């Protein structure tokens, strides 16, 4: 039976590269994208590369879109082996300082980065439970690590922004709580830190590639039965610029 993976926000960036890498491993890739044209273009690119890729319309802030996507996956496949909650946005008023931040901006970011993940995960959980050993990967960030952001010796110390970092901190807790609820099942739930990757997200200023970020997601999407659950895992920012991966502090 085919192994299916659904990736949200898969039309570009880290989500697209995750889809490409998992497609190359023989998985059936369901490309979630909120915009049909962008989603179909990504589907076309992956199919040209030989992947079994299918676009599915999915806006993670739209309950109707989520329900329709879940219904389609159920009708087509009857189960889901891997869910990668990748769709995310960054917004800030001014520099994002707490004193400059509006609730409207925080709500907008949380709608996608936090509430969207909960809504999509819960809608797909019956299909993930129907798979033999499902994996859930929530694409988070090192700026969601309270320990790292409050460490004066961390390269993240100069950042003092509320909307995006606090949304990823909330996502980390969401990850830990789903992992706890599902601890007696074969399902593993982890948060991924792709590292600072050059994508549209940051006007391509990242020092890692989207593919390198995707490799972190692939690792967590393909964990073996004795792999961990309930961790923030991924790229570790080292002052000597060497590549390193491991568990990040919450
Ligand atoms: N790049 C980095 O350095 C970095 C570092 C740490 C974590 N991350 C995380 O990695 C994930 C992917 O980021 P990226 O760098 O690949 O960014 P990106 O290139 O901007 O891609 C973001 C993707 O999310 C989609 N999206 C946004 N809102 C959506 C919604 N409501 N419903 C469905 N899809 C939606 C976008 O779709 P449209 O094309 O339609 O806008 C796009 O496909 C995010 O969760 C981000 O927080 C990125």
Find the catalytic residue in 74, 77, 110, 168.
168
Distance CA 20, CA 1 (A): 20
Q: Please report, for the chain, the start and end positions of each structural domain, with discontinuous segments joined by +.
A: 4-247
For the segment 1-38, what is each residue's pLDDT rounded down to a tens digit?
Answer: 789 999 999 999 999 999 999 999 999 999 999 999 99
DSSP 240: T
- Quick: pLDDT tens for 111-158: 999 999 999 999 999 999 999 999 999 999 999 999 999 999 999 999
Residue 35 CA: nearest ligand 1 atom is 40
245 tagged catalytic: no
Average model confidence (pLDDT) across the chain: 96
Per DSSP, the residues of 177-199 read HHHHHTTTSS-EEEEEE--SB-S
Ligand 1 close to Cβ of residue 76 (< 6 A) = no
User: What proportion of the chain, given as a percentage, has pLDDT over 90?
Assistant: 95
Candidate from 8, 14, 204 with most ligand 1 atoms within 8 A of CB, to mutate: 14
Q: Tokens in use for 138?
A: 């929530």
Residue 178 alpha carbon to ligand 1 centre in Å: 22
Q: Over the stretch 193-210, which tens digit does the pLDDT of each residue have?
A: 999 999 999 999 999 999
pTM: 0.98
| DSSP bridge partners of 245 | 235
The pLDDT of residue 240 is above 80: no
What's the confidence (pLDDT) of residue 122?
98
Is the pLDDT at 239 greater than 70? The verdict is no
Helix and strand counts by DSSP (H, E) for the chain: 8, 8
DSSP 8-state assignment for residue 100: G
Residue 156, ligand 1, Cβ within 6 A: no
Which CATH homologous superfamily contains domain 4-247?
NAD(P)-binding Rossmann-like Domain (3.40.50.720)
């Amino acid at each position: 039976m085919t192994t299916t993976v659904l990736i949200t926000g898969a039309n570009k960036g880290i989500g697209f590269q995750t889809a490409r890498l998992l497609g190359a491993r023989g998985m059936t890739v369901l490309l979630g994208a909120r915009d049909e044209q962008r989603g179909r273009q990504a589907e076309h690119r992956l199919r040209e590369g030989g992947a079994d890729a299918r676009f599915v319309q999915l806006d993670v802030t739209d309950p109707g879109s989520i329900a329709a996507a879940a219904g389609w996956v159920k009708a087509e496949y009857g189960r889901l082996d891997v869910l990668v909650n990748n769709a995310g946005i960054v917004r800030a008023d001014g520099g994002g300082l707490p004193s400059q931040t509006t609730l409207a901006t925080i709500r907008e970011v949380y709608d996608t980065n936090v509430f969207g993940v909960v809504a999509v995960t819960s809608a797909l959980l019956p299909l993930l439970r129907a798979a033999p050993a499902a994996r859930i990967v929530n694409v988070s960030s090192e700026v969601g690590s309270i320990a790292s952001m409050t460490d004066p010796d961390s390269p993240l110390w100069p950042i003092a922004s509320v909307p995006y970092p606090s949304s990823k901190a909330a996502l980390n807790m969401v990850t830990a709580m789903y992992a706890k609820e599902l601890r007696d099942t074969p399902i593993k739930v982890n948060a991924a830190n792709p590292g600072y990757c050059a994508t549209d997200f940051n006007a391509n200023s990242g020092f890692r590639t989207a593919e390198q970020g995707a490799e972190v997601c692939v690792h967590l999407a393909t964990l073996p039965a004795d792999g961990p659950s309930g961790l923030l895992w991924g790229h570790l920012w080292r002052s000597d610029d060497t590549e390193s991966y491991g568990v990040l502090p919450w």
